[in-house]
Chain A
């Protein structure tokens, strides 16, 4: 943890950089989701919103979230016990998302998974 005064002074700069990166990321997400006319090449995949746009949008969001977690929440230099807590929560969460795939066996949702 950045405890000395010099270290904190230094990390303030990092915070501002991350702030800028987050703003840019946000604008980028909006542009990818709904590209203005002169930036039509940002419309990845088929025309309009589709899974490719979704993937790009979520990737940007994940990057932003990672920046917040690593820099603002100091996860980049944290003690082991915190990593254990956080990672187990993420794993549990991911496994719940995994439950969605059980829906594969339901006839109601079949049409989606074979798109």
Chain B
């Protein structure tokens, strides 16, 4: 069957049909991305934290912009080549376009990867520390956990001893975590066993039967059994209670003829004692006990820790002593007091006082040193601003100082990794090759070459932490938007590249049969590709430069 108006234009629109179609699609895309950009403005205006201005590495973004623009040109050249029936040129240009798309995605992948390994933490006083967490070491060897994996130094540690109780919610328990617990305990040569005989009435009017004996080791199957019994009993008991209550109402209505329901509703209740022989046991929680001692590790997001008793997100309650569980940065690469100053100003506290009294300044020698150095840098900046913009002539023609331009909040209160690097170079004569410097622009600071004197380790006690996350969507609304917008754009790049690659690798047959059709197809694919480029033209300044 021949598809109409694919090669030749329709008379009424003057266009071939697919062109109308792609423009309708692009119109919907304009609104989709427009929605996200307006969300960006909305969140930025309403942010209750200092918006991270120009926090992304500009160089990869800039190169990506060049790459996309170049691919936009080559795709239009590929179309022109087809129009002029130059198959070879079409192949070359389209090949470059697809290569550009791949390059774009690789750079994006590097950028994402750096983000997902970069830790940020907001302390109780709103100062922010950024850097890289380390893995636990003993001497030079990494400590391995029960799975043989390195342990990130951001774990909540509980020490459980003989007789400590672990109680699972029989409906909410998370099987994977239970398996994890079992294997962790086994690794420490400890056991988790049933604290008491698990008995339950499982049949109406029946006797209590033994489900599992005291001392049965913890297993997911056992908990699943308890869950089955619990759910069954809940259903059964609820049915009984409803039935009994209905009966009560029937009786009560007979006894109070002509009265409204609400007038006698208080007297209507079920006689639970009479009902109890028929009820089944609801095993809502199963209690286990630890034999031996073990140290259990939990990701902070999975646990609400307490000194004697902690609760997991699946409602498992674990008795056990909370050990010191600091968050240990192996390399700190930024100290940010912007949020602290913002909160201090709300309370009418001077920024200097607030910074001076922050936990970091009180407890860390390096931060004090870095801050002293930073104040010197700010003084230099102020002087530079006055030299350039800060003079005015008075009526007698003399120059007087009039600082019109102040350092920004970011310059005043944030010590970023490039500042640390500069300080390290000044203090410790660290020199890096030009190539290394370029690499740093993509991958972030080179901790190895610059060493601990530039990016020092830092241990933060757990109770000083307000919120911690990797630079993932969880960290703040900026990163949430960054990943949403660039992720969606990346999906468009992949989709567009797939379509264009199809034309390149499977277009030969169509080219020989009906070259104009292929040219039209490439034009349509190209229109989409230009749109992807167009979106990036806005994404780049908005997310990277503002």
Question: What B residues does A65 contact at CB under 8 A?
Answer: 534, 537-538
Given contacts A12-B77, A19-B69, contact A90 B408 (CB under 8 A): no
Contacts of B76 in A (CB 8 A): 15, 72
Which residue of the partner chain B has the closest CB to A22?
A: B69
Nearest-CB residue, chain A, relative to B27: A89
A47/B405 in contact, CB under 8 A: yes
User: A79's closest neighbor in chain B, by CB?
Assistant: B14
Cross-chain contact of B73 among A16, A34, A60 (Cβ < 8 A)? A16
Which of B15-23, B125-133, B437-445, B449-457 has 4 or more CB atoms under 8 Å from chain A? B15-23
Q: Does B255 contact A (CB under 8 A)?
A: no
CA distance A49 to B538 in the complex (A): 17
Chain B contacts of A92 at CB under 8 A?
Answer: 31, 34
B35 at the interface (CB under 8 A from A): yes
Expressed in whole angstroms, the Cα–Cα distance for A53 and B542 within the complex equals: 11
Chain A at the B interface: mostly helix, strand, loop or mixed? helix
Interface contact A33-B541, CB-CB below 8 Å = yes
Q: How many residues on B have C-beta within 8 angstroms of the other chain's C-beta atoms?
A: 57
- Among B14, B28, B538, B541, the one with the most A-chain Cβ atoms within 10 Å of its Cβ is B541
Q: Once the chains are docked, how many angstroms separate the CA of A67 from the CA of B389?
A: 36
Cross-chain contact A34 with B58 (CB below 8 angstroms):
yes
B residues in contact with A100, CB < 8 Å:
38, 41-42, 45
Q: Are A109 and B46 also in contact (CB < 8 A) when A65-B537, A82-B23 are?
A: yes
Is A81 a contact partner of B20 (Cβ separation < 8 A)? Answer: yes
Q: Is B144's CB within 8 Å of the partner chain A?
A: no
B545 CB within 8 Å of chain A: yes
Q: How many A-B residue pairs have CB under 8 A?
A: 145
Report A1-59 residues with CB < 8 Å from chain B CB.
3, 5, 8-9, 11-12, 15-16, 18-19, 22-23, 26-27, 29-30, 33-34, 40, 46-49, 53-54, 57-58
- Give the nearest-CB partner of B34 in chain A: A93
State whether the Cβ of B546 lies closer than 8 Å to any Cβ in chain A: yes
Near B by CB (< 8 A), chain A positions 55-99 give 57-58, 60-61, 64-65, 68-69, 72-73, 79-82, 85-86, 88-90, 92-93, 96-97, 99
Q: Is A105 an interface residue (CB 8 A)?
A: no
Interface of B, secondary structure class, is helix
- The CA of A18 and the CA of B530, in the complex, are separated in Å by 13
- A12-B81 Cα distance, complex, nearest whole Å: 10
Contact A26 B62 (CB under 8 A): yes
- Of B15, B31, B54, B541, the residue contacting A82 (CB under 8 A) is B15
B67 to chain A, nearest CB (A): 11
Contacting residues, chain A, for B388 (C-beta < 8 A)? 40
Q: Is the CB of B15 within 8 A of A81?
A: yes
Given A8-B80, A19-B69, A47-B405, verify A97-B38 contact (CB < 8 Å): yes
Specify which of B15, B77, B537 lies most central, judged by the most chain A CB atoms within 10 Å of its CB: B537
Contact in complex: A96, B35 (CB < 8 Å)? yes
A47 and B538: CB pair below 8 A?
no
Write the nearest CB–CB distance from A2 to chain B, whole angstroms: 8
- What CA separation (Å) do A14 and B531 show in the bound complex? 19
**A47 and B407 in contact, given A85-B27, A96-B31 (Cβ under 8 angstroms):** yes
Partner of A48 from the list B37, B83, B408, B542 (CB cut-off 8 Å) is B408
* B408 engages A85 (CB within 8 Å): no
Is there an interface contact between B34 and A96, defined as CB atoms closer than 8 Å? yes
Interface residues of B in 61-82 (CB under 8 A from A): 62, 65-66, 69-70, 72-73, 76-77, 80
Set of chain A residues within 8 Å of B530, measured between Cβ atoms: 68-69, 72-73
Complex alpha-carbon distance, A66 and B291, angstroms: 72
CB distance from B344 to the nearest CB of A (A): 17
Q: Name the distance in Å between B416's Cβ and chain A's nearest Cβ.
A: 13
A61-B537, A89-B31 known; A108 vs B545 contact (CB < 8 Å): no
Is B196 an interface residue, CB under 8 A from the partner? no
The interface of chain B, by Cβ under 8 A from chain A, is: 13-15, 19-20, 23-24, 26-28, 30-31, 34-35, 37-38, 41-42, 45-46, 53-54, 58, 62, 65-66, 69-70, 72-73, 76-77, 80, 83-84, 385, 388-389, 405-408, 410-411, 526-527, 530-531, 533-534, 537-538, 540-542, 545-546
10 A-B residue pairs with Cβ-Cβ distance under 8 Å, sorted by A, are: A8-B84, A15-B76, A26-B69, A34-B54, A34-B545, A61-B538, A72-B530, A86-B23, A96-B38, A100-B45
Top 5 closest pairs, chain A to chain B, by CB: A48-B408, A89-B27, A93-B34, A47-B405, A33-B545
